Amino acid sequence: MASTLFDSALFRDVFTTPAMRAVFSDDAQLAAFVKAEVALAVTQGETGVIPREAAEAIARQAPTIALDREQLKHDTENVGYPIVGLVRQLSQSLGEAGRYVHWGATTQDIMDTAAVLQLREAVALIEVQLADVMTELARLARLHRDTPMAGRTHLQQALPITFGHKAAIWLSSLQRLAERLQQAKPRALQAQLGGAAGTLASLGDRGLDVRAAYARALDLAEPDITWHVARDGLVEMVQALATICGALGKIGYDVMILMANEIGEVFEPFSSHRGASSTMPQKRNPISSEIMLANAKMSRDAATLMLDCMVQDLERATGPWHGEWFALPQACLLTAGSLAQAQFMLSGLIVDPEAMKRNLGSTRGLIVAEAVMMGLAPALGRQRAHDEVYAACRDAATSGAALLDALLKRPAVASALPRDQLAALCEPSNYLGTAGAMVDRVLARQDRR
């Protein structure tokens, strides 16, 4: 077994995507480190902190320097962080200009800023994926706005709903999460520059000017104050990502249940041997849904770890910061994987309205007992109507008769409403409430997006 699913040649593109793995590759991280160092030098040159010609040389040459990865690995193992080794290599390669690399900064300034740059790229990918999944859900909600099916509570048939209503509920959750993701960005995607203890003392009276220019150069938000040990922005973003995974896990869980042989109302897309069993040829396992559910569980651990890492000591953490290096990429990788599986599954989801109709009829009208009760209430009063319908339901369940027949055998019911009205009350498609109107509202919100 590989050390992680994301390192496995077999599983890495099952639980995440190549694009997201690239965002959190060593190459991408080193490039982000160099980008942060270059932005720092450029802004210090513009503000007169370091010679402009040195800043220009750093900007021109630093991105092209071939780093000695083996030496950098050794330095990281020795120091505990990669920035000291990185700065040494950049400085040695840049000649006279190398004297001004990393001027007045601390390791965490560069590492945090680089992490934010990677997170920004990751969130941009996730937003595109999320939009694609919402488009598929809107299509399903619109197509099946009026497709009746059994709504289930406590795994039992409860009342009729429509499949469009179910899809619209899934969609509405992701709409809110897309908004949360957007709202979290300015709080999470902030430049980090504070120096050794967060006061920018090494930059004298130019510290705030440099930080403002540094943030602009990187197109990141400028913080009011150093956030070395105030990690709420990153924590909020990871919670949003984990919640997206949770919402997708709920969709996957629903699909898995509805795929059960005894229900058979929806199915994941068919392709040869997808979800096949090595021993049972008849099996068609809900593979995408299973991965979405697994990712929801794993992303919860990343979110929990990020919350734990908020508790940092004094002006520089002695360990909690390191936990983020695991949790932040994992949350992004898992979210991308869940969205990819959801897009595949929903874009080809097979919906069987006939099976839904058949299952609606399996209780012989008991699923609309509430409708009958409410229809009888004006004539009998609510409590007596409840008692009469309850007794009819028990008779129908015991004898195997249809609810309508059991109702007609009760004198109080038969005298309260004519047979045709009782029959209409016993038709599930007549008791969908405002399901369609609510679907329309969710779709209207999606159209506005």
pLDDT in tens, 206-215: 889 999 999 9
End-to-end CA distance of the chain: 43
145 and 93 together in one domain: no
248 and 377 together in one domain: no
H/E stretch holding 266 = strand 266-267
Q: What is the CATH number of the domain that holds 114?
A: 1.20.200.10
370 and 355 together in one domain: no
**What pLDDT tens digit does each residue of the chain (449 aa) get?**
677 777 777 778 878 899 999 999 999 999 999 999 999 999 999 999 999 999 999 999 999 989 989 999 998 988 888 989 999 999 999 899 999 999 999 999 999 999 999 999 999 999 999 999 999 999 999 999 999 999 998 988 888 999 999 999 999 999 999 999 999 999 999 999 998 888 999 888 888 999 999 999 999 999 999 999 999 999 999 999 999 999 999 999 999 999 998 999 999 887 654 544 445 444 467 889 999 999 999 999 999 999 998 898 887 878 888 889 899 999 999 999 999 999 999 999 999 999 999 999 888 888 888 888 888 889 888 899 898 888 988 988 888 888 888 888 888 878 888 898 888 888 888 888 899 999 999 999 999 88
372 and 281 together in one domain: no
Domain contains 18: yes
**C-beta separation of 250 from 170 below 8 A:** yes
Domain contains 6: no
272 and 292 together in one domain: yes
Domain contains 332: yes
Rounded distance, CA 301 to CA 297, Å? 7
Q: Answer yes or no: 362 catalytic.
A: no
412 and 275 together in one domain: no
> Which SS3 state, helix, strand or coil, does residue 150 take?
strand
User: Which residues neighbour 252 within 8 Å (Cβ) at sequence distance 6 or greater?
Assistant: 286, 288, 289, 290, 291, 292, 293, 296, 341, 342, 345
Residue 427's pLDDT is what?
Answer: 87
336 and 370 together in one domain: no
From the candidates 154, 271, 272, 278, give the one annotated as an active-site residue: 154
Number of domains in the chain: 3
> Which SS3 state, helix, strand or coil, does residue 190 take?
strand
Residue 438's pLDDT is what?
Answer: 94
Cα atoms found within 13 Å of the Cα of residue 257, Cβ hemisphere only: 13
77 and 171 together in one domain: no
Residue 416's pLDDT is what?
Answer: 80
- Does the pTM exceed 0.85? yes
H/E stretch holding 145 = none
Domain contains 308: yes
Residue 1's pLDDT is what?
Answer: 67
Q: What is the CATH number of the domain that holds 89?
A: 1.10.275.10
Q: Which two tokens stand for residue 72?
A: 């950098």
Domain contains 201: yes
**C-beta separation of 362 from 400 below 8 A:** no
84 and 98 together in one domain: yes
Q: Which two tokens stand for residue 283?
A: 């099996």
State pLDDT tens for residues 306-358.
999 889 888 787 888 888 989 999 999 999 999 999 999 999 999 999 999 99
User: Which residues neighbour 151 within 8 Å (Cβ) at sequence distance 6 or greater?
Assistant: 157, 158, 159, 160, 161
380 and 232 together in one domain: no
Domain contains 34: yes
**Radius of gyration (C-alpha) of the chain in whole angstroms:** 30
93 and 133 together in one domain: no
Query: Which segments of 69-208 are extended strands (E)?
Result: 148-153, 156-162
Q: Which two tokens stand for residue 396?
A: 């129908």
Q: What is the CATH number of the domain that holds 395?
A: 1.10.40.30
Domain contains 3: no
Domain contains 2: no
Q: Answer yes or no: 278 catalytic.
A: no
Domain that holds residue 391: 366-425
168 and 23 together in one domain: no
From the candidates 25, 74, 277, 415, give the one annotated as an active-site residue: 277
Report the amino acid identity of residue 44: Q
